[in-house]
Structure 1
Amino acid sequence: MTDFVLVAGTWLGAWAWDEVAAELRAAGHDVHALTLSGLAEKRDVPAGQQTHVRDVVEEVERRELRDVVLVGHSYAGIPVGQAAERIGGRLRRVVLVDADVAVDGESFLSGWPSEHVRRAVEEHGGHWPPQAADDYAGQGLTDDEIARIVAGATPHPGATLTEPAVMARPLGELPGTYVKCLLDGEEPCGAAAELLASDRWELVKLDTGHWPMFSEPRQLALVLHASATAA
């Protein structure tokens, strides 16, 4: 039995993992889906990126979890990667689901054209507003799945997007799996490609879009289950 800690990306909370969590529990695992500060039911809690790192670390320590698989989707790969380093021997594996990679000194917005995001944050009181339904087109989602995401999404605290990650060593030194969702690009690039050069990381591809917890929850759960037994 493995303890999974599941963390979704921008605009989403623990609710995004409901179907995946049910599949993992049916396979005998303990599952802890986590809402980061400033989002969903915690939307009124002030948050920077290090707040999100502490959210993950404190979840592991408060519950006294061992043999932990930390799962980060999209933006959450950055706080999850930092937390993985900080929980020490409690960690079994890191799984990044179509996620950004924590690199020391780099932020979520580093390395890609981000002026439109920065402008949106400035215009919306320090928060990045959620996407509209049309923005989810071409990602393997049904109309009902898109409606569910849009209805549950909350503005994302902007400070978490611009603050730099703090890593004492490269994430590639820890054991991990990178899940690439093919409708969002066929190959990992940038820091994800560099991460996969490590012999401690494996690549798994899913033929779906950037939100597989909605579009392919059972398939994603199977990948996570397999990661718990990976060498």
Structure 2
Amino acid sequence: MSWPSILEPAHAYALWAPSYPAHAHNAVMQTEERAMLGLLPSNLSGITVLDAGCGSGRYMRHVLDRGTVAVTGVDLSLPMLLRAQDELASCADPSRYCLMQGSVDALPVPDAFADIALCGLVLGHLEGLDAALGELRRATRPGGMVLCSDVHPIGHALGWARDFKSAGKRYAVRHTQHLYHHWHAACAAHGLAIESVLEPMLDPNDIPAGAHFDARALEVPVALIFSLRRIP
């Protein structure tokens, strides 16, 4: 099997957007999503949410279903934002959501903008955590929740790639390994208290029959998830 071409995130998602689903579309994402949603309050009535790196809007749909008063999705990729707009327009009241173009490390929102900030499977696309966690903290109200996930760093060590096909060619998105001590240092520097850390394992029932995958994935955690609290 040939190795995929590694692309910068903006280029990769421009190619991937037309076919990118607005739901967790593989076993790793399903595992990550169950853990994230387990930490997210089940009733978001009266709560405002920021989805930083919203992609095709999968977490925006979840928080709308849980009753958020308003959710704002920010993403660097305009094609992915257009994908999210198509998905949300078919299932949500436009007055309850907003989409904006911008980077997680330079969020286009005011200070203390949201009660909860989400960032799902995005931070590995950045070379460092510091600026992004600083921005997530800034955009969250004092005492608010910051909920982040990423591919577990063990996956990087095992050679896993976030790959996809476009026009018959195979590509992968550039990904940077962020270890626990990187998270700890960045949280300490920006006034984010670590409330819980999850390292979920794959559920074998999520793996389609006949799928080709690294069998070691059943023996190691596949995602790293942090529930953080902005220290006032």
Q: TM-score range by the shorter chain?
A: 0.3 to 0.5
Structure (1 or 2) with the larger CA radius of gyration: 2
TM-score by length of 1: 0.39
More strand, by proportion: 2
TM-score by length of 2: 0.39
